[in-house]
Amino acid sequence: MKYDAIIGLEIHAELKTKSKMFCSCDNDASDKAPNTTVCPICLGHPGTLPVPNKQAIDWTILTGLALHSKINRLSKFDRKNYFYPDLPKGYQISQYDQPLASGGYLEIDGDKILLTRIHLEEDTGKSSHKKESDYTLLDFNRAGTPLMELVTKPVIKSAEQAKKFCQAYQQILRYLGTSGADMEKGEMRCEANVSAQAAGTWEYKDGKIIPKKKGWFGGGRHELNPKVEVKNINSFRAVAKAINFEIKRQTELLEKGEKISAETRGWDDNKSATVSQRVKESAADYRYFPEPDIPPLKIGEDWLERLMTELPEMPLAKKQRFMAEYKFSPAMAEILTYDKNLADWTENVISELDAWIEANGDSEARQERRLAKAAANLISGPLLKHLNADNKKIGDLKITAENFAELTCLIYQGKVNSSAGQNILEKMYHSGGDPTDIMRDSGLEQLDDSAELEKVALKVLAANPDQAVQYKNGKVKVIQFLVGNLMAATDGKANPKIAREILEKILNQ
């Protein structure tokens, strides 16, 4: 290709601590009237002093540990000076040259996406611009919310990889339990830095994009095009669309011989386009200086050791373990580990199944992980279908892990067939309950009686003479039609294997 796309991300995540970053105000402003979860500190009144939220600091360090970052033993807060109407103090307390975490990576499809830093700051309020009005409404409920910012190095190769990075990062935050990270609610906000460079004119060195030399004989260096920052991206789909649009826009400008401006652009989802907002600021524009009201943070060994014990198994590690330990396919492991609560519930089911295997001495089933696979198919198929249809999560489920394991065993033992098993699952989903009791009360226990099934088979063949003749003439696939009719005649209770054997035996006589 004539041009290379260079992409870096800045992702802000609101931390769901009980109180705000520098005061004791309620950090949950959802469904609350505007300007009701505020105090003189988060409103920036003169003479007030900020007190850092230790939980927010812990969670930022924990995120750094999860992403293989270096935790800086000495960190500090800084004042970032700029003016917006919804910034109460006229500056933001953030971190500049000594963030809590430096470096690290997140693996996406085998590529390590390198990180520059993870730091902590406070959020702003919200501005509302009403149509056909000449005023703006300000809600400061969100002002002071702990905001954790992750910055990647400019090593992302495509819009699709950037989208996957955001999705994987959201998953990690939810595994850690530090943020809801819902982009549509503004709990996670992504900004993309995009630049198009002529192929062969640049190289990546020491975390930066630098121009290559033009030639061996003092030809100087190539001039690189400036980067453009894209804001207002509020969905994973929009991440990919905004980046692709910006790559196309910059490439077309270069093709025309025009210059690219270093600017901040906003993503307009309705127009599916980026629009210019302002000239890009530099660090000097913000006039950073150390926050005088907050002393530096010293992160001791005991502090780190405590947080290491709180670090859960991360999604990629859990997926790999599910594949190795339970012999799940990569696709199945991906489905069952995407949500931590679902993964934990699945493992509780498997633990109950292992106990059943132990009690019944079925070592072959355990070795092949047959029951674990059977449960996984039920969970990833009909159970998730029910939950998704009702927009519910695994925590809303009325089915206990023990009862779900019991249902899996009923199907495995042949006491109910697959169709009846799904009927029982549906009843359990809506009302809970013991699957064995539901099976007996509903008359869903599998019919295995050969003599009884033979009577039904003769009636089915008598009602379908043309299909019987077709089978005898060599069209053996018609047996599926006949088995289906037998299943229907027994309200789905017949053992399909025995039913087929009986039909074939009669037809082959």
Give yes or no: residues 429 and 475 share one domain.
no
Digit-coded pLDDT (tens) for 13-72? 999 999 999 999 999 988 899 999 999 999 999 999 999 999 999 999 999 999 999 999
Residues 457 and 427 in one domain: no
Q: Is the pLDDT of residue 361 over 80?
A: no
Residue 216 — pLDDT band, cuts 50, 70, 90? low
pLDDT at position 87 is 94
Residues 166 and 77 in one domain: yes
The predicted pLDDT at position 174 comes to 97
60: exposed, middle or buried (C-beta count within 10 Å: 0-12, 13-18, 19+)?
A: buried
pLDDT reading at 193 higher than 70: yes
111 and 35 within one domain: yes
Helix residue ranges per DSSP H, 261-417: 283-286, 301-310, 315-326, 330-337, 340-360, 363-368, 370-378, 384-389, 401-412
Does one domain contain both 367 and 260?
no
Average pLDDT score over residue span 176-184: 95
Region 438-447: what's the mean pLDDT? 82
Q: Which phi and psi (to 5°) does residue 153 adopt?
A: -80, 160
Residues 137 and 167 in one domain: yes
- Examine the domain organization and report whether 78 and 184 are in the same domain: yes
Residues 201 and 269 in one domain: yes
Which DSSP helix (H) or strand (E) runs through 120?
Answer: strand 111-122
Report percent pLDDT > 70 for the chain.
98
* Residue that terminates a domain, selected from 389, 421, 441: 441
Q: Which of these three, 420, 441, 462, is where a domain ends?
A: 441
Average pLDDT in the 339-345 region?
96
Q: What is the pLDDT of residues 404-423, one digit of tens each?
A: 999 999 998 888 888 889 99
Does pLDDT of 309 surpass 80?
Answer: yes
Domain boundary pick from 280, 304, 328: 304
Domain co-membership, 159 together with 271: yes
Q: CATH number for the domain including 497?
A: 1.10.10.410
Do 218 and 321 share a structural domain?
no
Q: Note whether 401 and 463 are same-domain residues.
A: no
| Burial zone of 135 (CB within 10 Å; 0-12 exposed, 13-18 middle, 19+ buried) | exposed
pLDDT band at 327 (very low <50, low <70, confident <90, very high): very high
What is the residue-averaged pLDDT of the chain? 93
The parent domain of residue 456 ranges over 450-507
pLDDT of residue 213: 84
| Cα–Cα distance for residue pair 138/110, rounded to 1 Å | 44
Lowest mean pLDDT segment, chosen from 82-96, 425-439, 487-501:
487-501
Overall domain count for the chain: 3
Give tens-digit pLDDT for 459-506. 999 999 999 999 999 998 999 999 999 988 887 778 888 889 999 999
Mark whether 319 and 299 lie in a shared domain. Answer: no
